Chains A and B, each alone.
Chain A
Amino acid sequence: MSTMGDEALLNKPGLPVPKATVISQPHWDGCKKGQLLVQHCDECNAYTFPPEIVCPQCLKSSLLWKQSSGKGVIYSFTVVHRPQRPEFAAPYVAAIIELEEGWHMMSNIIDCDIDSIEIGQAVEVSYVKREDFSLPMFKLLTVP
Chain B
Amino acid sequence: MKKNPLHDIAIVATYNTRQSRRLENENDLSLILEIIRGLIDSAGVKTSDIDGINISTPVWNLKPREALQILNSETRWCGNEFMGISAVLEAAGAIATGQAEMIMIASAQAGEYTSGESTAPWTRPTHEFIECFGLYTAAEFALCAQRHMKLYGTTPESLAEVASTIRNNGNKHPKAAFYGKPNVSPDDVLDSRMVTSPFHLLDCCITSEGGAGLIITTAERAKDMDVDAVYLLGAGTDRQGMSYTRAPVWDKCGDIGKRAANRAFSQAGIRPKDVDVCEFYDPFSFEIIRQFETYGFCDLGEGGDFVMDGRIALDGEFPISTNGGLMSFGHSGTVQMLQKVTAAYDQLCNRVPDEINVANAKVAMASNGGSGALFCDVMLLGTEPA
Contact = CB atoms under 8 A, between A and B. Distances in A.
B146 A119 contact: yes
A16 B150 CA distance: 31
Contact of A106 (B130, B146, B194): B130
Given A21-B128, A82-B195, A96 B247 contact: yes
A139 interface: no
A126 to B, nearest CB: 13
Contacts of A24: 128-129
B292 to A, nearest CB: 20
- What DSSP secondary structure best describes chain B's contact surface? loop
Given A19-B126, A81-B195, A94-B139, A75 B132 contact: no
Contacts of A107: 133
B147 A84 contact: no
A86 B118 CA distance: 6
Nearest to A16: B131
A140 interface: no
Contact-residue size bin, chain B (C-beta under 8 Å from the other chain): 35 or more
Interface string B164-199: 000000000000000000000000000001111111
Nearest to A92: B134
B146 A17 contact: no
Contact of A16 (B119, B132, B198): B132
Contacts of A104: 246-247, 249
A105 B246 CA distance: 7
A82 B138 contact: yes
A24 B132 CA distance: 15
Contact of A86 (B117, B198, B248): B117
Interface in A1-37: 15-21, 24
Contact of A76 (B117, B118, B119, B146): B146
B131 A18 contact: yes
Interface string A119-142: 110000000001001010100000
B193 A50 contact: no
Among A21, A77, A92, A108, the one with the most B-chain Cβ atoms within 10 Å of its Cβ is A77
Contact of B248 (A49, A88, A96, A120): A96
Contacts of B127: 50
Contacts of B27: none
Interface string B131-155: 1111110110011101100100000
Contact of B132 (A18, A21, A77, A82): A18
Interface string B328-353: 00000000000000000000000000
B238 to A, nearest CB: 17
Among A94, A108, A119, the one with the most B-chain Cβ atoms within 10 Å of its Cβ is A94
A88 B246 CA distance: 21
A95 B139 CA distance: 9
5 contacts: A18-B132, A81-B197, A106-B135, A106-B246, A108-B134
Interface of A: 15-21, 24, 49-50, 75-86, 88, 92, 94-96, 104-108, 119-120, 130, 133, 135, 137
